[in-house]
């Protein structure tokens, strides 16, 4: 799985080493005449107050215990059976007792806990049901499995991703699984749009896979603060799904008033149909057998495209 690859098989270490290399390259400036030097880019790994190599070592040491995982929209709590996870499953309508009742959109995010790893694990094991609030920077993994597409608006999906960022520790993973039965490239623009929107919050995409009926995206939290600039760009609107546009058309159609005929008009319409010729239509000649006027079938644009 992605979690095993990232936390147990060196994926996290490689990602941190890439961050270190990028920081070193960004800090180097090329001398040029009359060209101001680029501003020095702050090393994201120095949030710990350590050198790059020490920060990588320190970060890896902190992930030796169980992986704290929040499964949003859990329903049946499928991750509970895996020993490597300390799982917290939440759902607005839980299907089993092990899942906590929680309205994730209205979940209150509190200040992070300043506790040791074992104390944080103990805190998670003593959560009260229902859950109305949680401390920030609490989980190593947040899972949105077939969740975001259930929300009727892009802004609600955006709020979910923002809350996930606040609940994740630095370098934690957000796993997004969304349904799609089409071929891989049909929704390529939509997936690119999602990538830009989610990365604007302070994530970096770690992995992407397209399966027969779904997309899987793994994002790594690379910034402690959400960095999205909503003034220059409508990032929430970029988390769209095809059904968003269908619902607009449905609303416009449903708002159109329907004309209801009177009984007199129904009688007049029925009388008009009585004036139609009762002779059968000859499909081979394209003409009515009682008329010399040729009959032309309307061209169906849907059939023409097929």
Residue closest to 176 by CA, chosen among 195, 159, 196: 195
Instruction: Give yes or no: residues 285 and 185 share one domain.
Output: no
Does residue 190 sit in the same domain as residue 239? yes
Rg (CA), the chain: 29
Domain of 114? 60-250
Q: Are residues 108 and 230 in the same domain?
A: yes
Is 127 inside a domain boundary?
Answer: yes
76 and 184 assigned to the same domain: yes
Does 2 fall in a domain? no
Is residue 131 a part of any domain in this protein? yes
Do 193 and 270 reside in the same domain of the chain?
Answer: no
- Residue 111 within any structural domain of the chain: yes
Q: What is the pLDDT of residue 148?
A: 95
Other Cβ atoms less than 10 A from the Cβ of 131: the count is 16
Residue 72: give its domain's CATH number.
3.40.50.150
pTM: 0.71
Instruction: Domain count for the chain, please give it.
Output: 2
Domain assignment present for residue 199? The answer is yes
Same domain, 283 and 238: no
272, 216: one domain: no
10-residue stretch averages of pLDDT, the chain, 306 residues long: 90 91 79 48 45 51 78 95 96 96 97 95 96 98 95 95 97 95 80 95 94 92 83 88 71 52 59 48 44 42 42
User: Is residue 134, in this structure, part of any structural domain at all?
Assistant: yes
Q: How far apart are CA 207 and CA 203, in angstroms?
A: 12
At 52 the pLDDT is: 52
- Same domain, yes or no, for 155 and 189? yes
Do 69 and 178 fall into the same domain?
yes
* 36 domain residue, yes or no: no
Residue 41 forms part of a structural domain: no
* Pair 97, 230 in one domain: yes
Contact assessment for residue 160 and residue 129, using Cβ atoms and an 8 Å cutoff: no
Identify the domain boundary among 203, 228, 250. Answer: 250
Residues 200/228, Cβ–Cβ less than 8 Å = yes
Distance of CA 276 to the CA centre of its chain: 57
173 plus 94 within the same structural domain: yes
Q: Do 78 and 219 share a domain, yes or no?
A: yes
């Amino acid at each position: 799985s992605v979690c095993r690859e990232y936390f147990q098989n060196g994926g996290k270490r490689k990602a941190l080493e890439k961050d270190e290399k990028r920081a070193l390259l960004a800090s180097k400036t090329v001398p040029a005449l009359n060209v101001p030097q680029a501003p020095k880019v702050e090393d994201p790994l120095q949030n710990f107050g350590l050198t790059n190599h020490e920060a990588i070592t320190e970060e890896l040491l902190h992930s030796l215990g169980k992986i704290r995982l929040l499964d949003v929209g859990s329903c049946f709590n499928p991750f509970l059976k895996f020993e490597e996870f300390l799982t917290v499953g939440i759902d607005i309508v839980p299907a089993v007792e092990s899942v906590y009742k929680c309205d994730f959109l209205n979940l209150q995010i509190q200040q992070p806990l300043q506790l040791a790893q074992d104390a944080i694990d103990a805190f998670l094991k003593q959560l009260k049901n229902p859950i109305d609030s949680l401390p920030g920077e609490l989980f190593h993994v947040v899972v949105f499995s077939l969740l975001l597409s259930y929300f009727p608006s892009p802004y609600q999906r955006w709020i979910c991703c923002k809350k996930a960022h606040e609940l994740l520790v630095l370098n934690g993973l957000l796993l997004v699984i969304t349904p799609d039965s089409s071929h891989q490239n049909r929704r390529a623009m939509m997936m690119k749009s999602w990538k830009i929107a989610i990365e604007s919050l302070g994530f970096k995409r770690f992995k992407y896979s397209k399966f027969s009926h779904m997309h899987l995206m793994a994002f790594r939290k690379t910034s402690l603060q959400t960095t999205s600039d909503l003034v220059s760009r409508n990032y929430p609107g970029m988390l769209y799904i095809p059904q968003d546009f269908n619902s607009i058309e449905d609303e416009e159609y449903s708002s159109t008033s329907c004309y209801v005929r009177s009984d007199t008009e129904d009688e007049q319409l029925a009388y008009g149909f009585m004036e139609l010729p009762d002779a059968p239509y000859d499909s081979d000649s394209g003409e009515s057998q009682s008329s010399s006027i040729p009959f032309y079938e309307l061209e169906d644009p849907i059939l023409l495209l097929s």
